[in-house]
């Protein structure tokens, strides 16, 4: 490959993972190979050269089937946006994290609703009483957002989606917004319970009443290698069983 590579280990057998590491070390441009220095979404471990910024996200059988095509530069690259989320308490930023899938505000210790005041680009959107709120990228729209009733977004859409989790009012529906929007969510004083904000299901930050979670598009993008014959619609058909008789 002309521009280098990194590989995400996703259900790869140990022996095949060793083969990949050895092969990549041999052809890395500067001879330096890292292991496990960065955790991708869902804790997939990246192998490769730190100077390269392209990931190959496939399962072991698909990798084996497509290695020759990929090493011959017969692939496409999908670029995915990220989210940057900050927790602000008493005017000071106490935490800042990045997500490629979603940022989720949710109750922590009990299955009870929390009240959240939500603004969009400085304008009031709504006050929602719900089990939580999901702010998702197009990549994350097929994860927690989808299971909470949100729409499926094409990965290259310039959009984000806000999805209430089990809202008290049925009128609090998911909303698709411009990806350059600035979202601010304030945990209401009436939410007299422990709550958390979670980034990609990996990092949990405890929050309290009057904390503000500010979310916007991140500067970092994620590049994913797509081998020939693999596309978003074919993955949807396979995973969701579209076109199959019950």
Q: Model confidence at 77, in pLDDT bands (50, 70, 90)? A: confident
* Residue 166: other Cβ atoms inside 10 A: 13
> Which residue(s) pair with 34 in the sheet?
48
Q: Model confidence at 92, in pLDDT bands (50, 70, 90)? A: very high
Q: Which helix (H) or strand (E) holds 19?
A: helix 14-27
Does the pLDDT value for residue 182 go beyond 50?
yes
Query: Using an 8 Å Cβ cutoff, are 101 and 139 in contact?
Result: yes
What's the rounded mean pLDDT across residues 196-223? 92
- Residue for token pair 């990806």: 179
Better-scored residue on pLDDT, 191 or 185 = 185
Taking only the tens place, the pLDDT of each residue in 155-175 is: 889 999 999 999 999 899 999
- Work out whether strand 203-207 and strand 212-217 pair parallel, antiparallel, or are unpaired: unpaired
Better-scored residue on pLDDT, 90 or 9 = 90
d(CA 228, CA 79): 16
Better-scored residue on pLDDT, 6 or 104 = 104
What's the rounded mean pLDDT across residues 111-123? 92
C-alpha dist (Å) from residue 164 to 23, 118, 181, 215:
45, 11, 17, 15
**The sheet that has 222-226: what strands, in order across it?**
34-39, 45-48, 6-10, 54-59, 222-226, 76-80
Residue 234 backbone dihedrals phi, psi, to 5 degrees = -65, -35
Query: Using an 8 Å Cβ cutoff, are 110 and 193 in contact?
Result: yes
Tokens of 225: 């290698």
């Amino acid at each position: 490959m002309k521009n280098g590579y990194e590989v995400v280990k996703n259900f790869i057998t140990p022996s095949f993972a060793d083969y990949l590491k050895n092969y990549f070390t041999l052809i890395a441009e500067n001879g330096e190979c890292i292991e496990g220095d960065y955790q991708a979404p869902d804790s997939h471990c990246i192998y490769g050269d730190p100077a390269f910024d392209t990931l190959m996200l496939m399962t072991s059988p698909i990798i084996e089937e497509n290695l020759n095509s990929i090493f011959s530069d017969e692939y496409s690259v999908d670029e995915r946006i990220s989210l940057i989320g900050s927790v602000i308490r008493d005017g000071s930023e106490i935490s800042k994290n990045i997500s490629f899938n979603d940022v989720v505000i949710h109750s922590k210790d009990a299955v009870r609703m929390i009240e959240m005041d939500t603004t969009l680009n400085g304008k009031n959107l709504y006050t929602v009483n719900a089990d939580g709120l999901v702010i998702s990228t197009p990549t994350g729209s097929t994860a927690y957002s989808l299971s909470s009733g949100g729409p499926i977004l094409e990965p290259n859409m310039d959009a984000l989606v806000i999805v209430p989790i089990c809202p008290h009012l049925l009128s609090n529906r998911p909303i698709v917004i411009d990806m350059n929007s600035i979202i601010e969510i304030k945990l209401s004083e009436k939410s007299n319970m422990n709550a958390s904000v979670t980034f990609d299901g990996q990092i949990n930050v405890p929050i309290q009443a009057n904390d503000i979670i500010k979310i916007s598009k991140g500067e970092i993008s994620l590049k994913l290698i797509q081998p020939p014959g693999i596309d978003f619609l074919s993955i949807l058909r396979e995973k969701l069983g579209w076109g199959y008789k019950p």
